[in-house]
Amino acid sequence: MLKQKFDVGGMDCEHCVANVERAVKELSGISEVEVSLEEESMVVDFDDAVVNIQAIIDAVVEAGYEAALAS
């Protein structure tokens, strides 16, 4: 399992947080997703043998938000 932090942009309410969490949790290999509206970030626990970082970013983008590895 791997734990990775991402920067997430475009969220402005708790509904956005729920949308991002749902989009990522739908991917195989995800064990936990914590999204912070205040920090505009997300921490994901995932099995890197099943899902990769780009797939997680793509899921957030497809949900209508911006995502990148935290700097």
The domain tally of the chain equals: 1
Domain residues for the domain of 45 are 2-69
The average confidence (pLDDT) of the chain is 97
Q: So what's the pLDDT on residue 14? A: 97
What are the pLDDT digits (tens) for 48-63? 999 999 999 999 999 9
The whole-number average pLDDT for the span 15-37 is: 98
Q: What percent of the chain has pLDDT over 70?
A: 100
How much is the pTM?
0.95
CB atoms inside a 10 Å sphere around CB 54: 9
Q: What is the CATH number of the domain that holds 17?
A: 3.30.70.100
Q: Identify the band that residue 71 occupies on the pLDDT scale cut at 50, 70 and 90.
A: confident
φ/ψ (deg, to 5) at 51: -135, 145
